[in-house]
Structure 1
Amino acid sequence: MKVEDFVSVLGCDFYTGVPDSQLKALCNYLMNVYGIDEKHHVIAANEGNCTALAAGYHLATGKVPLIYMQNSGEGNIINPVASLLNDKVYAIPAIFVIGWRGQPGIHDEPQHIYQGQITCDLLDLMDIQNFTIDKDTTVDEIKEVMRRYDSLLKSGKQVAFVIKKGALTYGEKIEYKNDNEMIREEIISHIVKMTGENPIVSTTGKASRELFEIRERNNQSHKYDFLTVGSMGHTSSIALGVAINKPNKKIWCIDGDGSALMHLGAIAVVGNVNPSNLVHIVINNEAHETVGGMPTVANTINLIEIAKACGYGYVSSVDNFEDLDIELEKAKDNNQLSFIEIKSSIGAREDLGRPTTTAIENKENFMEFLNK
């Protein structure tokens, strides 16, 4: 189904969400038609954030907002749906459009398997009526569903469309880029060279995939790395938990700007605990690259000042490899909580693979290494 036909039937005037690869057609359409426009389209930090933003839109206009997200974000919407939107509370209508990763019977990555199994169950539990769209769904079917949904929305309930892979199409291509020159995979190679046998906790998405392949090329063990294949936004908290309990080891966290922003409060907690053995690196390409490349707000805020205000003892920002190596050396040698922002370009190798070890194997090897 053409995404233009889909949004026309839904009839919404305001869209907010977190990008998803299954919704690439919708995301590209919104960027092409609206860009980032506070009146019509806002990319949120996390799914709970956009749900509350949508609620505010309804309060101000009386209209029904559209919230888009990957199914992995359902956990983030449970609180605002149950305690804000629900018809037993404020009865705020909304249409959710949810990309279905880990659909049963379709091969996917380990972080999506269980989430995929319970995607529709969670919606049912939240009293959100839902309809699944696949490649064969017609516009007339969507019109009929919306006729049924109309009374629900008017009564202050929420509804959802669950989108299978390839169900929505869009003919226009969008190129996402920035002015940064450093390539993320090369950045991670420099980090690996500097860290030696120090443990690394890396964020979900392409960064962990690149870290895995760098170890393969270097004929190095994967035991040094914990690859956070899911749980976007929680990488620095995982690293904090490791750093607290392994005070004699230098712990390195490779984070991304989208991940850091998703649960920004984690930086405040890290700064308050203030582990002197933790180095928090944020590779900032100003984009949700792993799921398509839509922008984050990291191009308009100062991550360094945020980290400094939250209590990080040493902070720096680099945009070239010479300075990167200098800052990595400083972070390795100093004895204080450190934060390094690395400004990166958008893009990755088209032949970038995925980890060939299982998540359980990764965990067990990493734990064995930590506890030697």
Structure 2
Amino acid sequence: MKILNIKITPPNSVTNDRSLALWDEFFLPIYNLLFQRLDVTTSNYPHIDFDLLRPAIISILGVLSDSQIATLRKLGEKNISAKDWENAPENKAMMVFLWNFPIFANLLQNIHLLSSLAIRSTEIYNGFKITPATFVQAKQFIDKMNFQRWTRQQTDNEKQSGVSNLGGVSETLLELAMTSLIDGTNFFKTSNQKVQSYGDFVLMCLPNNLWLSVKSNFARERLLASGYTTDILGVGFFTSKDEFTSQSKIRNFQRVGFLAMYLPDIAVSDDQVRSNTNTFQEVVDEYAARGAALPLNINGTSFLRPLSQLHSDLKKILDVEDVKKRTTLDF
């Protein structure tokens, strides 16, 4: 069966090629459950309502022994603790299934995908790997699916989960796009919680290390909170030009240490798709309409930059191998 330019194998032809545990007890029943609800005649995606699947999933889980549940908790992206499993086990079980069969991920309504799963399934649906050339396009697809995924009002817990996943998607996409530059020594993602408030990634250089603060669709105070009068870059899939055309907002960003803001230069919202524009171009056009020059940073170089330029800008700094000679003074 072909859905969204992908082919889904019927249950009677699918095989346990990877020798998954609990194949007959869990994976095949869930596979059948989803396949039965596929609709090749619809143009609505996602279209399988997870809310309607809950009773059947709970029933499938209900016949598994404690030891089988313990095994199932280990079969997803990472081991799920028994305590975490107790909170909405049907959701956790579906994430385990989708991690092994991500081809179904963007067919489900009314459930948040883990950020890693959203990205993994995006690569499958679009037929590309995340690279500096495709990561913004991937975010565009994920946002579109997320917008179409919900047919009801989300609960408070679902809203909170959605915000967390959205941030995770942005960080992971950037990390994948910068893979060729990240070496764990000169440039790396921060994992020390004591300094994570400074930014999400850090590049070793002088006179200050260069931090990258990654945000999703809006900058606002969350981005400002990253600045501590250190050198920092704002990176995001921003959808609103208004956050970057206000002189006072630009001044506030620069005041706390931002050297540049990287704005998406392909459409990241439906309105932009329809208007054939993007946030970076909208900002440039706004300044031009006012007869104003685009703002410069403390080094006298561009403060507002296209997101597609980020990789080459960072590479230029990292091409200076000797950290004692690597600076942000010309950035």
Q: Which has the higher strand share?
A: 1
TM-score interval, normalised by the smaller of the two chains = 0.3 to 0.5
The TM-score, its normalising length taken from structure 1, stands at 0.31
- Which structure ranks higher in relative contact order (CA pairs < 8 Å, sequence separation ≥ 6)? 1
The TM-score, its normalising length taken from structure 2, stands at 0.34
